[in-house]
Amino acid sequence: MPKAYLLITNHISQMRQQFIRVMDNRIRYIVDGEDNMDTIVLLHGLGASAERWIHVIPILARHLRVVVPDMIGFGLSDKPSTDYSPDFLALFLDGFIRATCKRRIFLAGSSLGGQIAVTYAASHPADIRKLVLVSPAGILEKSTAALDKYVMAALYPSTQSVSDAFEVMEASGNKADKELVDSFIERMRMPNAKLAFMSALLGLKNISLSEEQLRSIMHPTLIVWGANDPVIPMHTAGHFIAAIKDCTFFRMDNCGHTPYVQEPETFADKVIRFLRR
């Protein structure tokens, strides 16, 4: 395992890293919490990995079985040469859920993971109990300066470019976590990592969530957005709120694109309260 991954994983002693085959590809995922608890599956965003949820996993695991994959094409999972469209990633998610979860699940997705969560829930309504969407992609009409900076950091990863991109995305003025920066650089230097990143990015730009998909979501849905998100601005939330029938919106002040990284306790508390409601 790459050095940066070992450093990050050591932060959570009870975290269990496992591997499984899905669609004939080796998929890495993290599990925490007791097996007899209700399960929540967390989906990371574009270019990220399961570690992006590292601060919130142990908090949620006090109440839930938490399952967090490196989605196919990302992290330490296999990266086949294919089209990483939202439909392909939703197909992967179906296989992953069936292989790792015995009962209906709670599903949460951030950014790209949010778009995949909606795509999956719209086509597999019986498998999901509730949805949590964090600054979900799928509606943004044009790129933003923060997203462009992130894309350039992925294509030409260096400590400076990745740190700058993460700091812009967080919009807090704080320095980027060195271990997360190092692990991102390691991931983007893996074979086929840039192919998967750019293919998924093109899927984001060319295949938007439809009004029909959003209106088909009957699951109770919590939408969480960082008030200062420069990647997918908060006004985008209006499309989701207007279309999803049973929708609760929670704005996280003083947060950027990943509020579960910046304020994990607040985020987890809101999610647990919503799931128990």
pLDDT tier, 12 (very low <50, low <70, confident <90, very high otherwise): very low
Question: pLDDT digit string (tens) for 130-158?
Answer: 999 999 999 988 899 999 999 999 999 99
pTM of the model: 0.94
Note the pLDDT tens digit of each residue in 219-260.
999 999 999 999 999 999 999 999 999 999 999 999 999 999
Annotated domain spans of the chain: 3-276
Query: Mean pLDDT over all residues of the chain?
Result: 93
Q: At what angle do helices 178-188 and 159-170 cross, to 10 degrees?
A: 120
CATH-assigned architecture of domain 3-276 = 3-Layer(aba) Sandwich (3.40)
Q: How far apart are CA 258 and CA 229, in angstroms?
A: 8
Strand partners, 243: none
Instruction: Check pLDDT > 80 for residue 5.
Output: no
Q: What is the pLDDT of residue 173?
A: 87
**pLDDT value, residue 118:** 97
> For 200-226, how does the pLDDT look when each residue is reduced to its tens digit (9 = 90+)?
999 888 888 999 999 999 999 999 999
Sequence letter at residue 17:
Q
Residue 2 banded pLDDT, cuts 50, 70, 90: low
pLDDT for res 103 = 85
Tens of pLDDT, residues 36-71: 999 999 999 999 999 999 999 999 999 999 999 999
Distance from C-alpha of 117 to C-alpha of 138, rounded to nearest angstrom: 11
**Res 87 pLDDT > 60:** yes
187 Cβ contact list (under 8 Å, min separation 6): 47, 49, 74, 75, 193
